[in-house]
Amino acid sequence: MNEQVNPKRWMVLISVGIFTLMSTLDGSIVNIALPVISKDLNIQMNMAEWVVSIYLVTICIFLLMFGKIADSIGKIKVFKCGSILFIIGSVICGLSINLWMLLLGRVIQAMGASMAMATNNGIITQTFPSHERGYALGYIGSFVSIGAIAGPGIGGLVLGQLHWSYIFWINIPIGLVALTLGYFNLPKKEVTNPTKFDVAGFLLYFVTLVLLFCAIFIGQAVGFSNIYIIATFIVSAIFLGIFLKIEKTVAQPMIELRIFKNHDFTLGLVAGFFIFVTNFFFNVISPFYLENALGIAASSAGYILMAFPLVQVVVAPISGKLSAKVNPIILTIVGLAVIEIAQLGYLFFNINTGIWFILLCIGLNGLGNGLFQAPNNTMIMSSVKSRDLGIAGGLNTLSRNLGMIIGVSLSTTILFLSMSKFYGKSVTTYINGRPDIFIEGMHATMTFAVVICLIAIVMSVIRLIKSRGSKNE
């Protein structure tokens, strides 16, 4: 029996892809503007980081909930509502006159983004026939990867000509175009599967993440040795244990834990998580290194940082095609090795480093990510059965966003602790006139990135050994 092919499927892909790119891009585009926002709103650098963190945290908290709701009432309905909410949030961000208004706009943006992210893989899966599905999902994966990494570069280009608020204003015309395309091309009817929502599971999941993120971000300000921070981590772990126990017993859980028994899926997911953590170390550090330490204008910094996504855009499709001829796990290991070389290169950055060497390291990072992301995403999605594609896509998106959050929080924590140690007293922002203190902190921070990337390499080698072992059985 032949599958019914939607003649508008490629327009659906464009509409979904635009919002996927925008929602992911907004998780990283603000990084380059943090020094400007910090100065304009008269707030310290560690407070400015909340503009990035609260967006990613909100997505992580509501992503799976909206995925479950979408399965019940329809993915397209949820996607459209999310798109509208994202545009409204962008308007509020653009109008912001203080930090609290900006944070409110970011939360609304993130709610919309989580609705779009929770449904994009499902919409593509139900729109495309099976022989084109992997290809289309690969494009969505590329939109996600490029959006997550290209933010600082694109943001720098905007800042070079316009006020920082235009980082959010540009979402409005682009979003309206995507909404128009979606209105005319997304199916008006779709198959729904009304199910009972796991309220208890969601509440436990919500409390676990809120406590965890509060402990992480407040701990950055008051210190992780604080008894209340330690207690919050412990309580978060207890709630996580209760959540996992309940999820094993309910008929329709928030998270299908059985999927983690698939080692290819789990190892690929964790390796991808570690690489997003690694990437966000430099994503957070680079604007302050280029703009504050080296004194480069935001627009020029944007051009420099664009080396990453530009190289990745060229390499990713090539890597995707190669994965059909070469063992994709080998490609991921090669990509990770190149990323590791780039991280080692960052350790040599100082106030006298030439632009050519900075571009080389950033370009190598883009090359490594281009080699790694496409085959890794393909392996994650192809390692599960068709009935689990939605679950796999949601968990893959969640792992990426968690990677971004941990990357932001861990990098800033290590940076400020290291700077405080070298300076001899507490530091929570860039110290004007003392680039040497920042450079020392940056080197300590990027050392951790080298280690995290190395762990991802080891995991991928284990995955290769396991796959060859299973073939020989």
pLDDT per position in the chain (473 positions), as tens?
A: 455 676 788 888 888 888 888 887 887 778 778 778 888 888 876 677 788 788 888 988 888 888 778 877 878 888 889 989 999 999 999 898 888 899 999 999 999 988 888 888 778 777 777 667 656 766 776 677 677 667 767 777 787 788 888 888 888 888 888 888 888 888 777 766 667 777 888 899 899 988 988 888 788 777 778 899 999 999 999 999 999 998 888 877 877 788 888 878 888 889 889 998 998 898 888 888 888 888 888 778 878 888 887 888 788 777 767 776 778 888 889 999 999 999 999 999 999 889 999 999 999 998 998 888 878 877 777 777 766 666 777 787 788 888 888 888 888 888 888 888 888 887 777 777 788 888 999 999 999 999 999 999 998 888 788 776 655 55
pLDDT score recorded for residue 469? 62
Predicted model pTM: 0.79
**Other CB atoms within 10 Å distance of the CB of residue 266:** 17
Cβ atoms 96, 105 nearer than 8 A: yes
Cβ density class 377-392: b for 16+ within 10 Å, e for less? bbbbbbbbeeebbbbb
Cβ density class 105-126: b for 16+ within 10 Å, e for less? bbbbbbbbbbbbbbbbbbbbbb
Cβ atoms 346, 449 nearer than 8 A: yes
Question: 337 CB contacts (<8 Å, ≥6 apart)?
Answer: 368, 457
Nearest-CA neighbor of 49 among 93, 112, 102?
102
Cβ atoms 22, 175 nearer than 8 A: yes
For residue 446, report the phi and psi dihedrals to the nearest 5 degrees.
Answer: -70, -20
